[in-house]
Structure 1
Amino acid sequence: MRFLLFLFCPLFALAQPVADQTFKLAGTSEHFYAFAEGDQVELFVEELTSKKIRSIEFSQYPDGQMLYRAYELDSTLNKTIAIPRTGIYLLRFEEAGLSKKVCRFTLHRTPGNPEMTRFDTQVNWDLKAIPSFRLGKRSVQTGKKTEVISLGGQSTVSASKFNLKNPVNAYQFTLPPNTRQWAYRIAVGQAAHEARQQDAQKLKQAFQGGAAKLMGVEPTSALAAFALGMAIDMSTSKAGEDVEYALVDWTNWELFSKGENYNAFISQGGISVDAQRRYSPLEGTYYFALKSDNWVDDITVNVDIEAVVEYPLFEVQWFLEPAQP
């Protein structure tokens, strides 16, 4: 068994992009952003026409406490600024001379506190009208977690006993919440064991060829890999004992069982082993309606289901919002 060791930096220790703007400077240009206490803000400025920028200021708003000021910038500026407290900050440019300048600046934020890793730096209201603010938090989706959930069982379908019995039955199943896609195998009797063995060998060959390395989820069976989208030639057969099946809802199962016309998501006849990947339906309870053409012997139908589910992942995001007086 091999183990892989990954060295990584925590997300809060990485610089996060805040702004990248290029603009024409004519007079004064002001830009407002929110930062959290302990942040390290990396400010980069350049004038793109080889002219001077009279002054650049970075200050707290609205009290005006100056954190950094530079004069007569004619090249580039790189500065790291420590944020003393959570609040709004003003980046202000003033030009020198009559000619217009073209400026570019970038801001990156390195959080100083893991709790404030996800902090919204945008200020989306009129600060001149409402300069006061308060700190809020909300839950935001930051990703998804993929899992494969196994379902399955057996259903015995009676023979017709020379038209004395109705040779139908159903296998009921409920798809898990957040199902993205799923796959199933239907097999009669011993053919199920043989199909699983054959498909397990195909999965082993696929792993040896590196086909599963980029899947993100390690499948535990060939059917699970097939459900995830891996190109596996799943075993199918019409030899030996067979069954007719249809994927239906409750209403159409009742029609199927009565021998009446019905609607199905998929229906197949004369199947010993069949495997399919499905993108619909994706939620709710459904039935594999089963019918045997045997006169004497009952059959056992094995149903294997692998459902690929995606769970949303949420984290807390802090933000500033206007505080009405």
Structure 2
Amino acid sequence: MRILLTTIILFFSLPAISQDVVDVTEQTIRIGGFKDEEILLGFAKGDKIIFNFKEVGKKEMKEIEILEYPSNSKFSDYKTHKIENKTISVNQTGVYVFRFKNSAMSGRICQIKIQRIPSNEETRNFNTQVTWETKQETTYKTYTKDVVIGYDTLYTQKTKRELKSTERKELLIFDKTQRVHSTTNDNGNKTSLFFTLPVNELGLYKTKKVVSWAYWVGVGEEANQAWKQNSQSISKLAKGASTYFVSPLGALALGAVADLLVPKIGEDVSYAVSDQQNRNLFLAGQQYRIFDQGKGVAGFKNFNNMGMCQGTFFILLSNDNIMQGIDVTVKVVAIIETNEYEEKSYSDVSIQPKYEKKTFSDPIIVTKIVPVVGK
């Protein structure tokens, strides 16, 4: 009696179920070796999906999976050639992905049938076709950084060294008359004189240094007279302009004059300026180098290159007169600059920013192409 009742119930139920089943797709596809295939379909909330699969040659498929888009797996099976009446409940309207993976070298011929049982009459004609739409998703990146909220003004008492005074004075370094013999004299027709410039003094509050120097070479009374005339001209210039110099060479070294008077007649001398090594070569009759040279009854030169304002220098003298010796006067002056400094107090003002941590959110917009249903 119990068996008969069950049979009667099934008999009346089967036609009702078969009427509710809606065919979605039925197709035979070939999946190539090492290939994946996907079928995307849309289903309504409350649907029941009925899935059937069969590989015609009864060859295994590596994996069959059904996902609720994008990645919610609802069913998966491995190394199978047949799936019958697999039923999946649809909790919310959306896209379902039917994924088939073939890991074999040879292709697979697959018969696929997908049906749906609507939950009510309103969703019977639900459009299962999937379309693709471009959508933008906005997320926010939150971060914290220091932000300037104001400024503090700080006053700090400091001291600094400032120049108090500067003074330049002429200093006589060398003044000597030297006999230079003729070419036939047993003593030879070459000689030299040397002088050393004052060593620079570099103190914290006082410095003294040579900033320039000049030399004069003159022969006999003619050169002495020319020097006197230069001195007279320079004394007038010094009274009207500056007390920094007192001699023609001082004016030349400071740049107050660019030229000095020299005699046009009289015995001449060859002169040069060198260091000690080249002075020795000069006296030995060998090739030598010089910083300056000239020939005449008188000559002069000023130097203001800092590399030439320290050390010892040699004045080289040579007389080409066969019989007559000459008396050569050599003068050297230097300009000494004295700087005095003092400490002065001052307020150092500095502006320092004040920071505070604040939280920010920056939007990040991502454009995606996604499947949608019901269109």
Q: TM-score, normalised by structure 1?
A: 0.52
Say yes or no: does 1:310 pair with 2:337. yes
Q: Secondary structure at the match of 1:277?
A: strand
Measure the CA separation in 2 of the matches of 1:199 and 1:27.
Answer: 73
Give me the identity figure in percent.
26
Measure the CA separation in 2 of the matches of 1:154 and 1:294.
Answer: 21
Say yes or no: does 1:192 pair with 2:223. yes
Q: 1:207 to 1:309 in 2, by over 3 A?
A: closer
Q: TM-score, normalised by structure 2?
A: 0.45
Q: Which residue of 2 aligns with 1:160?
A: 182
| 1:239 CA displacement | 2.1
Say yes or no: does 1:236 pair with 2:262. yes
Q: Which residue of 1 aligns with 2:90?
A: none
| 1:295 CA displacement | 2.7
CA displacement, residues 209-243 of structure 1 (integer Å, 9 cap, x when unaligned): x4x25xxx432122211211112531123521111
| 1:194 CA displacement | 0.7
Say yes or no: does 1:183 pair with 2:214. yes
Q: Secondary structure at the match of 1:190?
A: helix
Q: Which residue of 2 aligns with 1:294?
A: 321
Measure the CA separation in 2 of the matches of 1:296 and 1:195.
Answer: 25
Q: 1:285 aligns with which of 299, 312, 334?
A: 312
| 1:258 CA displacement | 1.5
Measure the CA separation in 1 of the matches of 2:321 and 2:300.
Answer: 22
Long gaps (5+) in structure 1 = 1-25, 36-118, 121-137, 321-325
Q: Which residue of 1 aligns with 2:277?
A: 251
Q: Which residue of 2 aligns with 1:98?
A: none
Say yes or no: does 1:276 pair with 2:276. no
Q: Residue 154 of structure 1 contacts residue 303 of structure 1 at CA under 8 Å; is this kept in 2?
A: yes
Measure the CA separation in 2 of the matches of 1:147 and 1:158.
Answer: 32
Q: Secondary structure at the match of 1:184?
A: strand
Q: Residue 235 of structure 1 contacts residue 274 of structure 1 at CA under 8 Å; is this kept in 2?
A: no
Q: Residue 157 of structure 1 contacts residue 292 of structure 1 at CA under 8 Å; is this kept in 2?
A: no
Say yes or no: does 1:29 pair with 2:29. no
Q: Secondary structure at the match of 2:230?
A: helix
Measure the CA separation in 1 of the matches of 2:338 and 2:164.
Answer: 11
CA displacement, residues 258-294 of structure 1 (integer Å, 9 cap, x when unaligned): 221110001112x111122112421101110101122
Q: Secondary structure at the match of 1:283?
A: coil
Measure the CA separation in 2 of the matches of 1:142 and 1:207.
Answer: 25
CA displacement, residues 74-97 of structure 1 (integer Å, 9 cap, x when unaligned): xxxxxxxxxxxxxxxxxxxxxxxx
CA displacement, residues 101-155 of structure 1 (integer Å, 9 cap, x when unaligned): xxxxxxxxxxxxxxxxxx53xxxxxxxxxxxxxxxxx866555432211122224
- After TM superposition, list the pairs within 5 Å mapping 1:194-233 onto structure 2: 194-207=225-238, 210=240, 212-213=241-242, 217-233=243-259
Q: Secondary structure at the match of 2:184?
A: coil
Measure the CA separation in 2 of the matches of 1:237 and 1:290.
Answer: 18
Measure the CA separation in 2 of the matches of 1:142 and 1:185.
Answer: 34
Measure the CA separation in 2 of the matches of 1:163 and 1:198.
Answer: 33
| 1:316 CA displacement | 3.5
Q: Residue 203 of structure 1 contacts residue 232 of structure 1 at CA under 8 Å; is this kept in 2?
A: no
Measure the CA separation in 2 of the matches of 1:312 and 1:205.
Answer: 27
Root mean square deviation of aligned Cα: 2.8
Q: 1:260 aligns with which of 267, 282, 286?
A: 286
Q: Residue 157 of structure 1 contacts residue 290 of structure 1 at CA under 8 Å; is this kept in 2?
A: no
| 1:318 CA displacement | 5.9
Q: Residue 156 of structure 1 contacts residue 298 of structure 1 at CA under 8 Å; is this kept in 2?
A: no
CA displacement, residues 194-220 of structure 1 (integer Å, 9 cap, x when unaligned): 122211232245357x4x25xxx4321
Long gaps (5+) in structure 2 = 1-147, 200-208, 348-375
Measure the CA separation in 1 of the matches of 2:255 and 2:212.
Answer: 9
| 1:181 CA displacement | 1.0
Measure the CA separation in 2 of the matches of 1:204 and 1:163.
Answer: 41
CA displacement, residues 45-87 of structure 1 (integer Å, 9 cap, x when unaligned): xxxxxxxxxxxxxxxxxxxxxxxxxxxxxxxxxxxxxxxxxxx
Q: Residue 269 of structure 2 contacts residue 319 of structure 2 at CA under 8 Å; is this kept in 1?
A: yes
Report which of the two has the higher share of strand.
Answer: 2
| 1:304 CA displacement | 1.5
Q: Residue 183 of structure 2 contacts residue 319 of structure 2 at CA under 8 Å; is this kept in 1?
A: no
Q: 1:201 to 1:285 in 2, by over 3 A?
A: same
Q: Residue 182 of structure 2 contacts residue 323 of structure 2 at CA under 8 Å; is this kept in 1?
A: yes
